[in-house]
Amino acid sequence: MKKIISVLLLGITIFTFAFSSPAFAADAAAGKAIFSANCAACHAGGKNLVNPDKTLKKEDLEKYDMYSAEAIITQVTNGKGAMPAFKGRLKPDQIENVAAYVLEQAEAGW
């Protein structure tokens, strides 16, 4: 009986972790203000003034494997190409908020 219960609990645990997404408690509303102050100069309206082919629109984010909070957080934190790193300028939670805002806007079509 103990073995059956153990197997059931293990199965429930595996099922729970396999089909649940990690919590992403970022604040898109706070991200909007941070985006406006730090990102909008190059990315107003989801555009990209430096490289017009790589916008923040959903299609382009998906095309370049950037349509996830993790990818955006990495890009904003470390920079890439002409984009500067914001690691020293923004706190990690601010960068998470920007990522949430970008994803929300991309989903809505900017």
| Rg (alpha carbons) of the chain, rounded to whole number | 18
Give the rounded percent of residues in the chain with a pLDDT score beyond 90.
77
Mean pLDDT across 87-92: 98
pLDDT score of 3 more than 90: no
75-89: per-residue pLDDT in tens?
999 999 999 999 999
pTM of the shown model: 0.78
pLDDT tens-digit readout, 20-58: 444 457 999 999 999 999 999 999 999 999 999 999 999
Alpha helices in the chain (DSSP H): 2-18, 28-38, 40-43, 58-63, 69-78, 92-108
Computed over every residue of the chain, the mean pLDDT equals 87
Q: What are phi and psi of 80, to 5 degrees?
A: -175, 130
Average pLDDT over residues 8-23: 46
Mean pLDDT of 11-20: 47
Q: Domains of the chain, with CATH numbers?
A: 26-108 (1.10.760.10)
